[in-house]
Structures are given as structure tokens and as C-alpha cells.
A and B are shown apart, each in its own frame.
Chain A
Amino acid sequence: MDKSSISRPGQREGLFSSAVYHLHLYFLLLRAQARSQAVYRLSFALDAVGSALITLAEFAAFALVIPRFGTLSGWTLGEVALLYGLAELAFVLMDLLFGGFDAPNLSGHVRSGSFNTFLLRPAPLRLQIFGSDFALRRITRVFLAAGILAYGVSASGIVWTPEAAFLLAGSVLGMIAFFGGLFVIGGTLTFWTVESVEAMNVLTYGGRTLISYPMDIYGQFLRKTFTYLLPAAFLSYFPVLHVLGRPLPDGLPLLAAYLSPLVGPLMLAAAFAFWSVGVRHYGGTGT
């Protein structure tokens, strides 16, 4: 590693240089992992293509059957692709960013005791966890999701205005923060449970699948639970409704369509507050 390039900022230097230093550290961690994953090229290529196949098969199955039915309760394939692409794009970007917090990964560190090593190193804990699982093979899923989203945008005939762009970009950012928050919560729980808590999968993967389709197809109970209890509907469903020029449900004001970039970070902030409690509680497993 090139030591000269990562000189630690002194006490007197400002916030900016500290941020630059930490960002640099983060990218060093990512680069090291990306390099090691690219050593076995064939293996990497297989993994990269393979990890996109599940999503491809799932979306292809939906796309292949929809001509028999016409629409999904009034939603065309292009309009569903918009929701599906947004959810998948945000989720895979979140997976790249927050993979280290994912319960199976963190559970491994807690069980083996390697979490102690993170605590001892002279670098911020969260930064190390952020840089601890960067699965480069997911990059194919990013392209696939972007492709589905691009199809959705062109097929649903969205009028490109700065407002539409803001709504869709905000939706992705909100979802990254929201699902990242769920990953952080799932990871934090392993400080108590050691094993990953499977119930979280219903919220993360289940939530992702739930918002991949228009939420008016679900029953009242499910739709309201994921609107008012766990505010997943604000992430992509409301923004997409507004972009398509459809009214929001329950007589909600238009403002609700713009809340994704607020709801997501709020969830993430709450998750990190919980994380701090968890780290203080953490005592290791004795291994």
C-alpha cells in the first residue's frame, strides 16, 4: 500500500481534509477488495453474470406473461418496469455500499471475534464496516437494474422535466438510505443474537419485492402497514404515481410524493442510533 498518500490529518486541519482522508481510506479498502476479487477472472465473470440471473429470470417471467393479461390492474409493463427497476437499482447499490452491515457478514465477524479487530484499529468503526464487504460481482445487477429502469422510463412515456428527474433520483437515494438502515438494524441485532435474525429478511428482501410492484394490488392491511407503519410506500410508489400523473391514495397531499429523500435518511439515522447502542453493548463471544 502506498503509505505516503494517506497521511493522517493533524488536529488543526479542518473538517474538509478529514473528510477527504476518510474517503480516501474508504476507497483504499474498496480497491483492495476489488483487486482480490478480480484475481480469478473466470470465477469472477461467472459470479458476476450469475448474480444478475435471478433478477433477470424473475423480471423475464413477469414480462413474458403480461401479454396474456394486458395490464397489472391498469399498470402497463413499462410502468411496472419503472417501479421494479427503481427498487432493484437502489437495492443493489445499497448492497454494494452497506454489504458490510448485512447481518450474515456482521454475524460472522461477531462469532469469530474479528469484530474486535475493527474496534482496535485507529480508524472510524463505521468506515471500516462500510469498507469490509464490497462485492464487485454485483456490478452486473447495477447494469441490469439500470436497463430495466431505462426501459420503464421510455416505455411509460414520462415527460422529462427537472421535477421528474428530481423525484426519481430522490426515490433511489431515499431507498438506498432506507434499506441501508434496515441492513444496519439487522447487523446491529447480531450483537445480541450472534446469528442473523431471519425475520429481518421479510423487511429487507420482502420489502424490496413488495415495492417492486404497484402497491394498489395489495390488500388494505398490507398497503397501510407498508405506508404508515413502515413507510416504504413513500420511497418509490408515491414518487412514481406522481411522475405518471396519477393521484396519491388515501387523499394524501402531493407533498407525500417528495418525501423519499427525507424518509430514507431518517430511517438510516435511527438505525445508526441503534447501532451506537449495540456497539456499546457488544462484549464479544469469547472467541
Chain B
Amino acid sequence: MQAALPSSARPNVALYASVARLGFRRQFAYPQAALWGLITNLFFGVLRIAVLVALFGSKPQVAGLTVQDAITYTGLTQAFIMALSLFGWTDLMRTVHRGEVASDLLRPHDLLYWWAAQDAGRAVGQFVLRGLPMLTLFALVWGATFPAGATGWLLTTLSLLLAWACGFAFRFLVNCAAFWSPDAVGIGRFAWAVLGLGSGFLMPLAFFPQWFQTVLAFTPFPSMMNTTVEVWLGVKTGPEAWAAVAVQVGWALLLFALAASVLSRGLRRLEVAGG
């Protein structure tokens, strides 16, 4: 199918802003489900803290992290599960398999930007709904720490936005598999498992053996969460932190370019059966 979209010189900012706003509002439709989700995340958070605290034992510091850092790390990862879709995201592949993508393509917008706007709104909504309460609980109950000073907050915010951007572009790329294969969900399972391990969700990357960290450093996965947490904790500060954020910018640009190119190839071979 030909995507007859004129690539206008100026993207319609107002359109994407309202798409993002709607994506944000949609998250608040089922408050009860969100509450139970929060409780489940909290329970698993408690278990993960217990494992980390037991691992530390009486050691004051391991791989540059204190027990308190590890607890904050767990709180952050549990808080980001929904906002950064760490367990996976299949919205785009569903519209491709069902053919709904055809009506999305008729609309006067770029499909990648449209999904990005929608997912940005979704992410902010989930961060407010699930992330902030989780962080508050972790701060109150386990004394989770916060970024230090204005620079710390600035760097952390930048890094978090970039983590979302890298993560979104990666998820979008994985979803593009639906243009080629009816088994995109199965391919996604691989991707989400790798994301969980490589982004530092399952364990802080600093605890992994050096060889494994070196391998991961060549991939975009640490940029999808671990970097943000390290900047938040102040493990990385000053020039080191700025360098880490710069790496995130690089991966975000590369992944978005890749997503755009794969999408245009996918659209060229897209066939939608009537129905």
C-alpha cells in the first residue's frame, strides 16, 4: 500500500499535542485497576528489596552502590514499569494484524509521530498514576533518595525523557515486525525479555560481571532505564553524567531514524484484507 502522506515542512504541533493529551487522559479511565496494579508492583517491590538487602548482608557498598542506593533503584524500576512499558507494548502490532492501521494511515499525520505523541501522553499518565505514588511510598517507607540539587534534577529529567524516547523507538521497531510476520507477538516476547535484562530492570547493571556490562554498553538497552537510575542516584555525576545523557541522545536519534526507515519499508508491503 502506498502511504500517500505529504511530508509537510512543518509538523502540526497542535495536532500531536492533543493526541498526547488524549493519550494522557485515557490512562485515568480505570482507577481501580490502576490501584490493584500499584499494589501488585509494590508487593513485588518488597520481595525484590528483600533479595537485594539479603545479598548485601553486612557489606556497606558493592560496585559503587550502597544498600540504600539498591533500595532506591528497586523503587525506581517498579515506578517506571508502566511509564516505560518495561513488560512490553503491542498496541501497534495489534492495529496491523487487525487492519485498523489502514484507517490510521488515512489520517493527516505521520504514523511514527502520531504513535510517539500517543505513547508520550500514555507514559506521562502512567507516571502520574503509578509512578509517583510508588516513589512516594518508597520515600516514606524505605527512605528512597532523590536527585541532588538543581543540576541533579535537570540531568535526571533529561535522562528520563530520553529513556522514554529510546524505549519507545525500540518498542515501535519491535512492533514493526507485524508488517512482515503474523508472529510478531512471539518475536516481541524475545525483545521484552532482553529489555528486562539489558535495561537493568531485573538487577542493577552495575552488579553484573564486567564482561556482561561491556557487551551491554554496545547496546541501547542501558539507555532505556539504567542510565536514568544511575543519574538519579548520583552514581554518575558531572561530566560523566552529561556523557551518559549524550549517549542516550545518540541512541534516541539512531533508533528513531531506524524506526522511521523500517516503518516506511513496512508500509510499502502492507496489505490490509477487507473486513
Chain A interface residues toward B at CB < 8 A:
40, 42-43, 46-47, 49-51, 53-54, 56-58, 60-62, 64-73, 198-199, 201-202, 206, 209-210, 213, 217-219, 222
Decide: A219 near B207, CB < 8 A? Known: A42-B183, A209-B44.
no
Q: Is the Cβ of A43 less than 8 Å from the Cβ of B40?
A: no
Q: In the complex, what's the smallest C-beta–C-beta distance from A101 to chain B, in angstroms? A: 20
Closest to B48 in A: A209
**Which B32-53 residues have a C-beta within 8 angstroms of A?**
33, 36-37, 39-40, 43-44, 46-47, 50-51, 53
Contact B193 A218 (CB under 8 A): no
Partner of B51 from the list A60, A71, A72 (CB cut-off 8 Å) is: A72
A217 touches B203 (CB 8 A): no
Report which B residues bind A (CB closer than 8 A). Answer: 33, 36-37, 39-40, 43-44, 46-47, 50-51, 53-57, 59, 62-63, 182-183, 185-190, 192-194, 196-197, 202-203, 207-209, 212
Q: Which residue of the partner chain, among A49, A51, A58, A73, contacts B54 with CB atoms under 8 Å?
A: A73
If the complex has contacts A54-B193, A64-B209, A68-B63, are A206 and B43 also in contact, measured as CB distance less than 8 A?
Answer: yes
**Within the complex, what minimum Cβ distance (angstroms) separates A32 from chain B?**
22
| Chain A residue nearest in CB terms to B197 | A57
B134 to chain A, nearest CB (A): 15
Chain B binding surface SS class: helix
Chain B nearest CB from A118 CB (Å) reads 27
Asked if A65 contacts B59 (CB within 8 A), the reply is no
Select A64's contact among B53, B56, B212, beta carbons within 8 Å. B212
A198 contact set on B, CB distance < 8 A:
33, 36-37, 40
Residues of A within 8 A of B193 (CB): 50, 53-54, 56-57
Question: Given A50-B193, A198-B36, A199-B36, A61–B57 Cβ distance below 8 Å?
Answer: no
Asked if B208 contacts A64 (CB within 8 A), the reply is yes
Q: Report the bound CA distance from A209 to B193 in whole Å.
A: 17
Neighbouring B residues of A58 by C-beta, 8 Å: 196, 202
Measured between C-beta atoms, what is the minimum distance from A216 to chain B in Å?
A: 8
Note all chain B residues with C-beta closer than 8 A to A42. 183
14 additional A-B pairs beyond A47-B189, A65-B207, A70-B57, beta carbons within 8 Å, are A43-B182, A46-B183, A46-B187, A50-B186, A54-B189, A58-B196, A65-B208, A68-B207, A69-B57, A69-B62, A73-B55, A199-B39, A201-B40, A213-B47
Interface centre among B50, B56, B62, B197 (most CB of A within 10 A): B50
Q: Which residue of B lies closest to A56 (CB)?
A: B193
Cβ–Cβ contact B40 & A219, under 8 A: no
For A213, give the chain B residue with the smallest CB separation: B51
Would you give the shortest CB distance from A115 to chain B, in whole angstroms? 23
Instruction: Check B39 against A202 for contact (C-beta < 8 Å).
Output: yes
Tell me how far the C-beta of A206 lies from the nearest C-beta in chain B, rounded to whole angstroms. 5
Tell me whether A61 and B190 are in contact (CB under 8 A). no
Chain B residue nearest in CB terms to A42: B183
Q: How distant is B48 from chain A, measured CB to nearest CB, in Å?
A: 9
B47 near A61 with CB under 8 A, answer no
Measured in the bound complex, the distance between the Cα atoms of B86 and A43 in whole Å is: 23
